[in-house]
Structure 1
């Protein structure tokens, strides 16, 4: 081991230490002093040991370095670097290339030196975020209440149109009837009457010759309104046909034709109450042996 190592002396603090040939080969002859951190060529400052005299003891290296020695070492290291131009500062890549060519330290040392020199030579640009302020013009603020009022009026108009054009159905519901009764006292609402002839049934249909008039017949009907509300009396469509189903005679009678207006309200047929109706018609003859009754919506 003694033949593969040399003794070199730091030119800054004159500290001597032993370096192996393997270490010199890896670092291309460049070493760092453990006392003052100075980088120098170990071969140039190699110390030849004297044969007669014992080798002087090496100075003990400690982790603590005096401030003036560290400053001197850093100043010597900056001699190998180009001077920074205030107008055209060197780029970090150029600084790193110069340091590697002059000293050729290890990768870890290169990183530390590049960070130190870059921070001192290249100025940094600081960007501060400013709060964004959104301003609305006075015209937008002044029009916002009118926009709200317009939306409210439009909604009221739509609701009013719905209540008016659907009054025929909504009036007969318990929820809207008080509203319509109040409004219709001041305006003519003309609420259409609900007509549901499917809920009106005929419980009796009897045809017999008239007791006083020749060639006449009498028809007796019993109608019942099975709906849950009053509705107008239906129109009666009576048709006669022969044995082959061919029509012989027919007639449609409106409520005012078979009811007395002074006694009965034509638009209010009571619910679940039998209504007896008697009709006097001309006889269809001997051919009209088949008959049919159809309940239709009245022409109000």
Structure 2
């Protein structure tokens, strides 16, 4: 006789003797489900009335006890997790990661170049960076400013006294040193005079020609760690002057 699996709707033949021996319990040879086949003809009639399609995988000669029954195993691996799918995605992922990495590096380089361009006056003071900045400017057509750091020019000695040959005049002598590790232009020196209340009562700025006393074309740069003597002749600011200060500009 024939019966139908209520789980996968597969119709197959089963012997009545086997059915009686198993107390009506049978195992589907297709999906391996166990069910009661005590009213097989009603199941077949229900299938026919509802236009159900018979399973094409098992023919009428197959039984649930046949050792040659072909079982279909359900695939629980989603397509996106299959090995072949992962390989394809891995290749795409590598290319995407490479493109993203190059884009990030390009963005970082652009930011660094902008920073270097707008801060070249500060960066040029760093001796280790100057060769790289020179290469950068060669590529971009910019010009590096000469390194300059007036804070590294220090006053090592100073003295002020009455001029020996000119009345109501003073002589100012001092020594300055460039403590930077690079040569830089001679600074403009500002000399200020203050009274007892700390108020500036007189002052003047002197360029290198004035305090070195040599022609402009003979002036080069302040070399590192070389003491430079300067001399100035100024009018006496008066008896209110109690102190004076140097500033390098």
Q: TM-score, normalised by structure 2?
A: 0.54
> Relative CO higher for 1 or 2, CA cutoff 8 Å, sep ≥ 6?
2
Distance 1:126 1:264, change over 3 A: same
**Distance across 2 between alignment mates of 1:248 and 1:78:** 124
Contact conserved, 2:173 with 2:232, CA < 8 A, in 1?
Answer: yes
Indicate the residue corresponding to 1:205 in structure 2: 159
Among 236, 240, 265, the alignment partner of 2:189 is 236
**Distance across 1 between alignment mates of 2:117 and 2:100:** 26
Q: Does 1:263 align with 2:223?
A: no
Indicate the residue corresponding to 1:45 in structure 2: none
Contact conserved, 2:153 with 2:180, CA < 8 A, in 1?
Answer: yes
Q: Does 1:291 align with 2:235?
A: no
Indicate the residue corresponding to 1:280 in structure 2: 233
Matches within 5 A, 1:76-95: 78=23, 84-86=38-40
Contact conserved, 2:153 with 2:176, CA < 8 A, in 1?
Answer: no
Indicate the residue corresponding to 2:170 in structure 1: 217
Indicate the residue corresponding to 1:115 in structure 2: none
Contact conserved, 1:236 with 1:293, CA < 8 A, in 2?
Answer: no
Indicate the residue corresponding to 2:7 in structure 1: none
Distance 1:216 1:233, change over 3 A: same
Computing the radius of gyration from Cα coordinates, the structure with the larger value is 1
**Distance across 1 between alignment mates of 2:224 and 2:21:** 119
**Distance across 1 between alignment mates of 2:74 and 2:126:** 68
Q: TM-score, normalised by structure 1?
A: 0.47
Indicate the residue corresponding to 1:132 in structure 2: 78
Indicate the residue corresponding to 1:250 in structure 2: 203
Shift of residue 83, structure 1, vs aligned partner: 6.9
Shift of residue 292, structure 1, vs aligned partner: 1.5
The alignment partner of 1:193 has SS state of coil
